[in-house]
Chain A
Amino acid sequence: MFNTGTVFLVFLAYMAILFGIAQIVERSPRVSQYLASRPWVYALSITVYCTSWTFYGSVGMASREGLSYLPTYLGPTLMIGLWWVVLRKIVRIKEHRNITSIADFISARYDRSQGVAMIVTLIALLGTLPYIAIQLKAVVSSFSIISGGSTSQLDWGGLGLWTTGLLIAFTVLFGARRLDPTERHQGMMAALAVECVVKLVAFLAVGAFATFGLYGGFNGLFAALPAADLEQLTRVGSGDMAAYTRWMTVLFVSMAGILFLPRQFHTAVVENSDEQHIRTAIWLVPGYLLLISLFVVPLAAAGRAVGLPHEMADFYVLLLPLHADQQALSVLVFLGGLAAATGMIIVSSLTLATMSTNHLLVPLIDRFEGLYWLKRYLLPARWLSIAWILSISYLFARDVTEGHSLANIGMLGFCAALQFVPAIFGGLFWLKGNKAGALLGLGLGFLVWFYTLMVPLLAESGQLPISLVTEGLWGVWWLRPEALFGLDRFDSVTHSAFWSLFFNSAAYLLGSVFIRQQRSELEMAGSYVHALRYGTSGDIQHPAETGHIKKSEKIAEAQSLLSQYFSEKIARSKIRQITEGLGVLEKESLSAGELLRFHRELERVLAGSVGTAASHKAMKKHLSYSEVEHEQVSHVYASILTNLRLTPDELLERISYFEARDRIQREHAHELEARVAEREAEIRVRKQVEQKLEKTVQSQTLLNELLRITLEPVSLQDALGRALALVSRSSWLPTEPKGGIFLAQQERRQLEMVVQQGLDPKVQALCHKIDFGYCICGKAATAQEIIHTDSVDHQHTNCFEGMEDHGHYAVPITYEKRLLGVMILYLPAGHQQVQDESDFLEAVANVLGGLIQRDRTQKALLESETRLRNATGGESSIQ
């Protein structure tokens, strides 16, 4: 036995070595490049599939149920044979779309639906949390065993908390120190490969020790066992139909698990740097599984043979060397178990944290403007997610896993991953599989899985009432979680896998068949289904293009978009990387094709940090194409189309894609047109206001000038003449430079023209004197209102043969409602009356009225003075 401090130091030293390896790889591009090109690193990292469930749990399972542990490894072995078709296709799609997680992969296929991404993330979260919990439980139990403690009373308050805290720190250090657009972590992969070697070596070492060291070989070992025990250890369960049903279920469920468990998807798909590496993985991973399973039965047999208690079978692997007092081997086995658990915990929590931030947090931020500031804190949010995931797993391990074997809880996660099968396989091989089908299938599958597997687990641990399991929901017997619709012949895993997959597949198929696929989904459906027909690089040969689109504007647009998620500096650096990669760094302008590629790369980079769904939405919201750009882009598409050799189906898909793109661009163009019209209306209003202001200023100036004339010591006739000239030549009045002013002779009820300007002699003769009520001027005098005419009409009584057509403003000049005269102005024929002009002429008439009245008053005063002087003999004068 070892003391707790020593064990803790071993744990810390081991993690520090792993961290050191990861650091060396990440800091040295040469090492990183070397390892990235080694297929065995990739293949070994996929064996993170073998967790503490394999390392400790499979021996426990073999001890209880014989060979029932095998399908967990045989299923993946068979499925891996199809990877050259399935995984290669997924990897190629990942390369094209910058996929960062399984949620990203599924949602991208279904119109980048955030709803689909959210459901997948929830399934992954709820399915993986118990799985992480059993890893924590295994680590804490192994700590307890190696330091001589009990496994029935685990130290969750001390050891459990410390272990969880350290694992949070290591996970953040290993994989979440920065936001990586590719979500590839070469250092972490190298550390993971080392962990996989450690656990295999440890397991083979303890297996060899138990078989050959303790019993001199297989024969000796099996001979040491009673025949009944050997029979039981090499039988499938109890050998009845139920055992074989479970065997088949686990075989199929594990086929899904090897690729669709979130951590498996991450290592096999996201971390893949070369699709040729899949070839090595196809034989190396099953080989690894074979080797790590080889000594399971011998270890279970040895445990029994040396008399270890049955209830401790999950930890025979560690107990055997401890029992034989093999200290070095015990430490190696402890490290092997630690490697198995920590590898899974680190990759799983990292993957789940990425999914949670990208598909739960980012859509939430996008929905509420008040949370926009959080976009700059996605990395700390990811750290918090890791802490949250491991803390919940810790609580789950402490409160729920008691009394359950490692294998049973592990199966819960496998059944959750099974829910992805219809949506992924439908998406990869069926063009008509659509978003509605995926949403319905995943949603229903998730509900049934939760109800049939999670609810019983929570009820048994006291978190939910047990009556829910024994009597069913609302007491309805056919709603019992472990016997849904009365199906009680199967074990819980088979029961749950059957019903959840039944509802999931049926809803996916019916939804896809009966709910119409949106046209925007076709492009993605085509690119998924036909992924293997495209090249690995994903580049299409573009025709020679000339650039006319200002690069600076597009860079500014992209900068503004990326700045919402990254600091200014990082955003600038990412844009520089993209432009450098596209070879347009030094260019002033971009061609349409270059703009398309720039936007595509930008979306890929953003997708690496926030997921494809959120990235696509952000791109649509923030980036634009002008009408000219749209036209150029259309030309590029047309050229690409002519260069492509497509089948009619593919051509149809492509056309739908172009149509969708075209529609978006048209909508954008309409929006722009509406904005331009709005601006034009504003400009018109502003111009009208400006014109009005200018008129006001001009009329005010003119009136001031008139007032100045009235104050000058000139005769009335001179003053009226200058006033008429001023008014008729005003720049803003539409008057012609001719007109006249009449003074009223009240006694004779006549108007007499006193000044004129530019009038035809005939007119002067005709209009010298005009009776009140006669012609336009006489009518204006009678009515004492402005009269407007736009032509020589019936009102124009004074006219002669050959008179040119014209209009008039006849303005009565009054003083205190007393008619003093009339001013007649000429207008171009057809000019209509304008209120502003009438108001201004009225003001002019008032000034002229004041002028005439003052003249008359002065004359009356002079006359009075003369009369007074005559009466007093010339001695008096008025002062």
Chain B
Amino acid sequence: MLEKPEFPILVFVAGLLFFGWPLMEIARSLPPVGRLGYFFGAWTLVVVLYFLIFRRVR
């Protein structure tokens, strides 16, 4: 599934939702460390997905 060319676009859209308003309102309801966890956790997930998608030379 990760090799499908549409997958990076899915990650982009999902990331935009997570890091954009209004979904990021979720972070507002979290405690301070939870907020950091929300953003850095999602960010790490995106980087890992990029790595998995693009690490291999097709």
Interface residues of A (CB under 8 A from B): 67, 70-71, 74, 77-82, 84-85, 218, 222, 230-231, 233-236, 239, 244, 247-248, 251, 276, 279-280, 282-283, 286-287, 290, 294, 297
Contact = CB atoms under 8 A, between A and B. Distances in A.
Closest 8 CB pairs of A and B: A234-B32, A283-B51, A283-B50, A279-B54, A78-B15, A81-B12, A81-B8, A234-B35
Contacts of B16: 78
Nearest to A247: B21
Task: Give the bracket for the number of chain B residues in contact with chain A.
Answer: 20 to 34
A81 B50 contact: yes
Interface of B: 5, 8-9, 11-12, 15-16, 19-21, 24, 27-28, 32-33, 35-36, 39-40, 43-44, 46-47, 50-51, 53-55, 57
Given A78-B15, A283-B51, A290-B40, 12 more contacts: A77-B15, A77-B47, A78-B16, A80-B50, A81-B9, A81-B11, A234-B36, A236-B28, A239-B28, A282-B8, A286-B46, A290-B47
Contact of A287 (B19, B40, B47): B47
Contact of A233 (B5, B32, B44, B57): B32
Nearest to B42: A74
Given A82-B8, A247-B21, A290-B43, A279 B55 contact: yes
Contacts of A78: 12, 15-16, 19, 46
A239 B21 CA distance: 12
5 contacts: A70-B19, A81-B8, A81-B12, A279-B55, A287-B51
B10 to A, nearest CB: 9
Main secondary structure of the interface of A (DSSP, over half): helix
A230 B30 CA distance: 13
A235 B35 contact: yes
Contacts, number: 84
Contacts of B15: 74, 77-78, 81
A233 B35 CA distance: 10
A300 to B, nearest CB: 12
B57 A276 contact: yes
Contacts of B40: 290, 294
Contacts of A231: 32
A283 to B, nearest CB: 4
Contacts of B39: 67, 70, 74
Contacts of B51: 283, 287
Nearest to A297: B36
Contacts of B11: 81
A84 B8 contact: yes
Contacts of A244: 21, 24
Given A71-B19, A251-B20, A283-B47, A234 B33 contact: yes
B57 A279 contact: yes
Nearest to A278: B54
Nearest to A301: B32
